[in-house]
Amino acid sequence: MDLLRDLLDKQVLDRKQVKIGKVDGLVAELRQGKPPRVVAVELGSITLARRLGSRPGRLMAWLAARFGGERHAEPHRIAWNKVRNIGVDVEVDVDVRRTGIFDWQDWLRDRVIGRIPGA
Amino acid sequence: MKKLLEISLGIVTSVGGFLEVGSMATAAQAGATFGFQLIWAILLGTICIIFLVEMAGRFAAVSGHTIADGIRERFGFNAFLWPLLATLLVNFMVMSAEIGGVSIAAELATGIGFQWWALPVAFLAWLFLWKGTFGFIEKGVAILGLVTLCFVVGAVMLEPDWRQVAAGAVPSLPGHDAASYWFMAVSILGASISPYLFMFYSSGAVEDHWDKTYLGTNRAIAGLGMSFGGTISLGVLIVAALVLGAHGINQVNDYHQLPLMLIPIFGFWGFVLLVASLAIACFGATLEIGLQQAYLVAQGFGWTWGEDLKPRNDPAFCGVYTLSLLLTAIPIALGLDPLKLTIFSMAVTAASLPLTVVPFLILLNDERYVGEHGNGMISNAAVILIVALGFVLAVVSIPLQILGGS
């Protein structure tokens, strides 16, 4: 499989088929004398900003930590052994509610959207 | 039978959704100033949008992707940012113009200045998106939008010289005002080839779970629906050419001149029809572009999206259209001239098209996405030529128009 072509930027679905984001980055482990091995996929704004350059990456990490707390100072990672199926979408055996990925959407729902009548 | 119903519904949707402030204003201006001479621009624009809409539906049906998903996945996030930002910006301007169009209709109907209507209109649109489902919005816009057919009826009742109309289908050089002729040609192309239209269509196809069995349906809807839509634009142009010209108006530079178009044909009801057409067409487009902004961002970043979900289940998606509606209403509420904004944003649309259309065409020729259902030579060539023409004309004529100062 060509990782950059067939995996990067694909839609990620969690165990309950919830759209939780895109494969924003891949984490590979360099091994002595052996080919590198993918250990995780990364999601979130910090990873995206890093793809634009190291400076946007640092800025986004600072912003995320500033507004989301230390928990959000690093990108969200999903271990490779949780990846179940790679088709049109990438399915992972994770429950998004047990991760911090939707923290900001939860905040938006609880503080803004959910307070508007009819939500 | 079910397919036939689906096809007719799809055609009604495309017809009702085709006319919006851009096609209405540009066709009226072109007709008033240049008679039938710019009909070719409407034809070229319509041919191009037929191909693009067909491609958008085919891409969604075969690959299961929306256009935004596809572009990001195929070209990566960094490259995706360009079409994303360009489309968001163009959509922002066009949406503001649409809110302006509804506000003008409200002003014509009530006499209360248009800037007072911008925020109420945006609020009403928001309410529809907040409470409505995709089907409700799509079908509501479509059925009410059929009122815009009054321009076609009007054009036929005026009994134009059809030979002259046909002569306008062949591009020709202007006899006067060359700069504004080319600028209008660009604006018409931009108004016909709206990126939000085909991107919205692909989101709709995914929302409605299209698969390969829909390819024929898709072809019929794209071909017939967009042709009928283009016919309405043509109707506006013919009416403007015959009525406004006869009243000595050869430049539409104010929305208040528009009601005059239908009054000589339908009397007082002409006024009502025009106000209703303007209000409904622009309101429908406001809803569709608002949704499209939310689709685009949510699909680009992989968030949960869907107009049929309750807002609390896709808060980010709803947040995008809420914010878009609020922000796009502001320029109109501050009194920015809706007509100038409309014409200008149509020209900018034409200039921005290569950024969205080129990656899209590459996807439609990529076997990994569309398999054996890739583009043929003719559709590729037609879209490339028309989009290139629009882009070149835009790059040349936008600066001229700004310097010319009209």
Quote ipTM for the complex: 0.91
Indicate the pLDDT class of residue B145, thresholds 50, 70 and 90.
confident
Name residue A21's beta-bridge partners.
A12
> For chains A and B, what is the number of CB pairs under 8 angstroms?
66
State whether A8 and B304 contact (CB < 8 Å): no
Q: What is the per-residue pLDDT for B404?
A: 64
pTM: 0.92
DSSP, res B289: H
The H or E element that residue B155 is part of is helix B150-157
B311/A113 touch (CB, cutoff 8 Å), yes or no: yes
Question: Domain count of chain B?
Answer: 1
B72 interfaces chain A, CB cutoff of 8 Å:
yes
- Can you give the residue range of the structural domain that contains A57? 3-115
Across B124-149, average pLDDT:
89
User: What range defines the domain where residue B26 resides?
Assistant: 2-404
Of A74, A99, A57, A108, nearest in space to B77 by CA: A57
The answer to whether the CB of B284 falls within 8 A of the CB of B20 is: yes
Picking from A8, A19, A88, the nearest residue to B303 by CB comes out as A19
User: Which CATH number characterizes residue A57's domain?
Assistant: 2.30.30.240
Q: Do B304 and A118 touch (CB under 8 A)?
A: no
Q: At what angle do helices B178-192 and B377-404 cross, to 10 degrees?
A: 130
Best CA proximity match to B307, nearest among B299, B296, B316, B295: B295
The pair phi, psi for residue B15, each rounded to 5°, is -65, -50
Q: Which helix (H) or strand (E) holds A6?
A: helix A3-6
Confidence at B99, pLDDT banded by 50, 70, 90? very high
CA distance A33 to chain B (A): 30
Handedness of CA B379, B191, B226, B244 (dihedral sign): negative
Q: Which residues, 6+ apart, have CB-to-CB distance to B81 below 8 Å?
A: A52
Q: Distance, in angstroms, between A82 CA and closest chain B CA? A: 18
Q: What is the pLDDT of residues B364-396, one digit of tens each?
A: 999 999 999 999 999 999 999 999 999 998 998
Instruction: Please say if the pLDDT value at position B23 is more than 50.
Output: yes
Task: For residue A104, give the chain B residue with the closest CA.
Answer: B316
Q: Provide the token pair at B29.
A: 């201006």
Q: Residue A12 and residue B302: Cβ atoms within 8 Å?
A: yes
Nearest to B300 by CA among B133, B76, B92: B76
Say how far apart CA B297 and CA B272 lie, in whole Å.
Answer: 38
Contact B42, B230 (CB under 8 A): yes
Question: What mean pLDDT is reported for chain A?
Answer: 90
Mutation for B interface: A12, A60, A90, A113, most B CBs within 10 A: A113
**Number of CB atoms found within 10 A of residue B123's CB:** 12
Q: Give chain B's mean pLDDT.
A: 91
pLDDT tens figures, A28-57: 999 898 988 999 999 999 999 999 999 999
CB B59 within 8 A of CB B364: yes
Beta bridge partners of B154: none
Q: Which of B80, B133, B312, B313 to mutate to test the interface with A (most CBs of A within 10 A)?
A: B312
Q: How far is A22 from chain B (nearest CA, A)?
A: 5
Residue with tokens 């007072």: B116
- Indicate if the pLDDT at residue B347 is higher than 60: yes
Q: Do A18 and B78 touch (CB under 8 A)?
A: no
A108, closest residue in chain B (CA to CA) = B315
- How many domains does chain A fold into? 1
pLDDT of B406 above 60:
no
Instruction: Establish if B310 touches chain A: CB-CB under 8 angstroms.
Output: yes
| Interface touch B80/A9, C-beta < 8 Å | yes
Q: Cβ–Cβ of A48/B64 closer than 8 Å?
A: no
Asked if A18's CB is within 8 angstroms of B76's CB, the reply is: no
Distance of residue A70 Cα from the nearest chain B Cα, in angstroms: 22
**Regions of chain A with pLDDT less than 70:** none
- The answer to whether the Cβ–Cβ distance between B315 and A11 falls below 8 Å is no
* Percent of chain B clearing pLDDT 90 (strictly above): 73
CA-to-CA distance for B400 and B184, rounded, in angstroms? 12
Find chain A residues with C-beta within 8 A of B369's C-beta.
none
pLDDT in tens, B45-62: 999 999 999 999 999 999
Mean pLDDT, residues B110-128 taken together: 96
On the question of pLDDT at B279 being above 70, the answer is yes
CATH code of B318's domain: 1.20.1740.10
| Mean pLDDT for the stretch of residues B6-25 | 81
In tens, the pLDDT along B160-198 reads: 999 999 999 999 998 888 888 999 999 999 999 988 888
Residue B37 has pLDDT above 90, yes or no: yes
Rounded Cα gap, residues B342 and B94, in angstroms: 7
Reported as type and span, the H/E element at residue A26 is strand A25-31
